[in-house]
Amino acid sequence: MDAWRLGDHLSLAYASDHECRDLMVAYVRHGVGAGHRVVAFLDAGSVDLARTLTAAVPDARVGQFSVLRFGTGFGGLGFAGPDMLDSLDALRDEARAAGFAGICVAGEMNWTRTAGLRDDDVLGYETGTTRFFGDGQAAALCLYDRRRFAQDLLARLGATHPAPLLRFTVGGWGAQLRLAGELDASNAAALPAILALLAVSDDVILVDASELVFVDAAGAATLVRFAASRPTRHTVVRCTRGVRQALRLVGADDVPFLVLRDEVAGV
């Protein structure tokens, strides 16, 4: 659990209640120890886990740590399904207003089954949470029970979570996206949602991929298609020679408003 940092959207599957408890306790302790606001979203019946997490961080200051259970309350606190994305945005804003450098969310995702979400609904929710991480001030760990989620769904869900291999931030010069790490089949489903954060911009978009050390053909094709979807506006990709070659192999040179720059070049 030491590898995570603000900006990460992580997904892990567990095989037992003890494993879920240990993962969540480690994550919560790490977040509280780092001085962040920490919130745990649990299934309705997870009373014992709620108590364990609360006992695990006795030094948390007032307002730093909360446990929320779906559709009910633990200490008067609960949450519902349809407005979860808005709730996450509100929690992040509250954490900022309270002076926390970041917010860390841990989700025991069995709540999606209690809420009656279908597989596509869960995938849509996970994709929609992408906007929550672009400013590098939030992190999340989504824990899925192998006994309640099919293996093929877990694989699809895992691909919507870019971390830990791929990290991204949005902001900076103009409309800018920074990508770092590796983009492959394990996280490729997250890239369209990440790019969508900039799709509404009428400005030149800079994709700073100078710290992207690997991209597979599917990921490269997604970047090229994104640039092609903006036929009258420039998309500038700053990248290493290896990434540039991958982009050209999948048609980058055929997109007039896609500009490839060397990783050390100015734009």
Position 254 scores a pLDDT of 96
Same domain as 150, residue 58: yes
What is the percent of the chain where pLDDT is above 70?
93
Same domain as 107, residue 237: no
| Structural domain of 55 | 9-159
1 part of a folded domain:
no
136 part of a folded domain:
yes
Same domain as 63, residue 116: yes
Stretch 79-92: mean pLDDT: 82
Same domain as 129, residue 64: yes
**Contact status, residue 24 vs residue 51, Cβ threshold 8 Å:** no
**Domain boundary residue among 159, 192, 216?**
159
Average pLDDT, the chain: 90
Q: Which of the four pLDDT bands, split at 50, 70 and 90, describes residue 258?
A: very high
Stretch 13-23: mean pLDDT: 97
Greater confidence, 39 or 134?
A: 39
For residue 98, CA distances in Å to 61, 63, 91, 140, 238 come to 12, 9, 10, 19, 37
Q: Closest Cα to residue 163, out of 25, 19, 27?
A: 27
Highest mean pLDDT (candidates 23-27, 162-166, 201-205):
23-27
Domain of residue 154, CATH code = 3.40.50.300
Domain of residue 189, CATH code = 3.30.750.24
Same domain as 204, residue 173: yes
Position 84 scores a pLDDT of 83
How far apart, in whole angstroms, are the C-alpha atoms of residue 215 and residue 223? 10
Position 201 scores a pLDDT of 77
* Domain count within the chain: 2
Stretch 58-74: mean pLDDT: 85
Position 267 scores a pLDDT of 44
Is a pLDDT exceeding 80 seen at residue 80? no
2 part of a folded domain:
no
**Domain boundary residue among 129, 159, 189?**
159
For residue range 165-202, what is the model confidence (pLDDT) as tens digits? 899 998 765 578 999 999 998 888 899 999 998 877 77
Same domain as 118, residue 29: yes
Same domain as 56, residue 32: yes
Largest separation between any pair of C-alpha atoms in the chain: 59
Same domain as 135, residue 77: yes
Position 2 scores a pLDDT of 54
3 part of a folded domain:
no
Position 81 scores a pLDDT of 67
Same domain as 194, residue 130: no
- Return the SS3 of 212: strand
Same domain as 19, residue 135: yes
Same domain as 170, residue 105: no
- Return the SS3 of 139: strand
Residues contacting residue 61 through CB under 8 Å, at least 6 positions apart:
none
Position 74 scores a pLDDT of 45
267 part of a folded domain:
no
For residue range 90-124, what is the model confidence (pLDDT) as tens digits? 899 999 999 998 999 999 999 999 989 999 999 99
239 part of a folded domain:
yes
Position 77 scores a pLDDT of 64
Same domain as 219, residue 112: no
Position 82 scores a pLDDT of 66
Stretch 76-102: mean pLDDT: 83
128 part of a folded domain:
yes
For residue range 212-255, what is the model confidence (pLDDT) as tens digits? 999 999 999 999 999 999 988 999 999 999 999 999 999 999 99
Q: Which of the four pLDDT bands, split at 50, 70 and 90, describes residue 25?
A: very high
25 part of a folded domain:
yes
**Domain boundary residue among 159, 190, 219?**
159
